[in-house]
Structure 1
Amino acid sequence: MTVETPQIKDQLLDAALLHVPFDGWSEASFRAAIADIGADPAVARAACPRGATDLAVAFHQRGDSALKGAVQRADLGALRIRDRVARAVRLRLELAGDREVVRRGIALFSLPHLAPEGARLTWNTADAIWSALGDPSDDINWYTKRAILSGVYSSTVLYWLGDNSPESEATWAFLDRRIDDVMQFERVKAAANRNALFKTLFAGPLWLAGKVRAPSDAVQDNMPGRWAPPPQGSATEPGA
């Protein structure tokens, strides 16, 4: 069987998912995936230098990538923002599929040397949820929304893993309670922002917070050390 190199990571991931519930995101699962698709081990290692760890990252990222389409199909525009967030979190969990695969991933990214990467993946999921919902924030709220949602999402995942209720009803009730807690915090924050004494006492920190901006998606091509291709028709092109 011949495996095309550009798609090998996706093919390895699909094959590994059959083994992860039993062997975890381990070397055994990675080797089994290589054998299942008939890949050249050297090519597989080039695509996934860390073996199953890279596949676990790819599995998580696959769910994040699929979320935007799932949110668009769900047509959440008529819902309140708190209900849109709750629905998007639910959709992301449903995209995760097999709970044992997720459980094994949490175990992997709980290891000390992989914990920072696990935190980064959770942050990226929170970002994917807010982005799919069309979050317009471009100031410090961009960061606080994602930080708060990271906590809500990670705690909901842990609850979901142990939930045996029909159709995960207990998980969705837990999620609603967490969202309600967040909304109470937002109401307190809004009230504080309207308080003249609060604004006076925290004028410095509030000024500094007002200078924070969301990261830009724009590529800065005028920075030193960056290479840009020559314009079309330039004399530096071969054959010019």
Structure 2
Amino acid sequence: MAETGAAIADLTLDELRIALAPQIALSAMFDGWSEAALEAAAQTLGADFAVAKLAFPAKGLQGRAIGMIDAWVASVDARMEAEFADGRLGNLPIRQRIATLVWFRLEAIAGLEESLSRAMAIQAMPMNVPAALRQGWSSADKMWRLAGDISTDYNHYSKRAILASIYGATLAIWKNDDSDDKVETRAFLDRRIEGVMKFEKAKAQLLGREREHFSVARFLGRLRYPQN
């Protein structure tokens, strides 16, 4: 979403957050996730700085930083959902759907490795970990939905937890990857997805027909009291 001039004044605060987020991320390479980055972004888009600050209220020791990072993540989510809204991912194998979605997100922030490094350092602070986990879960949920996942049982949660972990680890590799076309990151992502596919296959074989109605208590009970 790219709004300029008078149109900016018509945005709600939530819309303004998303509109400003990519420009804030760009400024964060030099100013960090700071009020200075917010001011530079507001100036670029022609937004009133006072209103921009209302869109990112200061919270706790990190001020507006975690809110700006959250908006950046949300802006990437929005770009991803718009890009794949046509359902074309349905023609691909599931592992390729996930790889395509993760790679799209990486390409969407290409050139902003320094901003990502600073963002991850802020997210790692103890007071920000819950917000960072929510961000990762939300993005993983959106990826799985675009990939066609409609599970509602325990698989719904395990898939998102695993993908959030894979995505976070891939981001950590990507931001420091100096190889041509990020080939090291690509190989890392492919290995992680392959590992998950093998795990899912083994899990399906273990649970058999009961995998869609899996009970943790019943499973643990069978481990403790195996049938004769």
TM-score, normalised by the number of residues in structure 2? 0.77
| Structure 2: gaps spanning 5 or more residues | 59-63, 221-228
Q: 2:34 maps to which residue?
A: 26
Change (3 A) 1:65 1:205: farther
Runs of 4+ residues over 4 Å off in structure 1: 34-41
Two-structure CA RMSD over aligned residues (Å): 2.7
The aligned length equals 202
Structure with the higher helix share, 1 or 2: 2
Q: Which one-letter code corresponds to 1:180 in the other structure?
A: E
Secondary structure of 1:19's aligned partner: helix
Residues 33/80 of structure 1: CA separation in 2 closer, same or farther (3 Å cut): closer
The residue that corresponds to 2:66 in the other structure is 53
- Do the aligned partners of 2:20 and 2:41 also contact (CA within 8 Å) in 1? yes
Summarize the Cα distance change of 1:167–1:18 in structure 2 as closer, same or farther, 3 Å threshold.
same
Give the alignment of 1:75-114 within 5 angstroms: 75-97=88-110, 98-114=112-128
Match of 1:185 among 199, 220, 224: 199
Percent identity (aligned): 36
Give the superposition deviation at 1:44. 2.5
| Deviation of the 1:56 alpha carbon | 1.6
Alpha-carbon distance in 2 for matches of 1:13, 1:150? 21
Deviations 1:67-106 (A, max 9, x none): 1232346833332211211111111221233222222211
In the alignment, does 2:130 pair up with 1:116? yes
Q: Per the alignment, in what secondary structure is the counterpart of residue 70 of structure 2?
A: helix
**Do the aligned residues in 1 keep the contact of 2:25 with 2:115 (CA within 8 Å)?**
yes
- In the alignment, residue 189 of structure 1 is paired with which amino acid? K
Q: CA contact under 8 A between 1:26 and 1:53: conserved in structure 2?
A: no
2:168 partner amino acid: S
Cα distance in 1 for residues equivalent to 2:199 and 2:19: 44
Shift of 1:27: 2.6
Whether 1:43 aligns to 2:56 is: no
Aligned to 1:174: 188
Is the Cα contact below 8 Å between 1:71 and 1:133 reproduced in 2?
no
Deviation at 1:119, TM superposition (A): 1.0
Supply the distance in 1 between the matched residues of 2:101 and 2:46 (Cα, whole angstroms). 37
Q: Which letter maps to 1:67? A: M
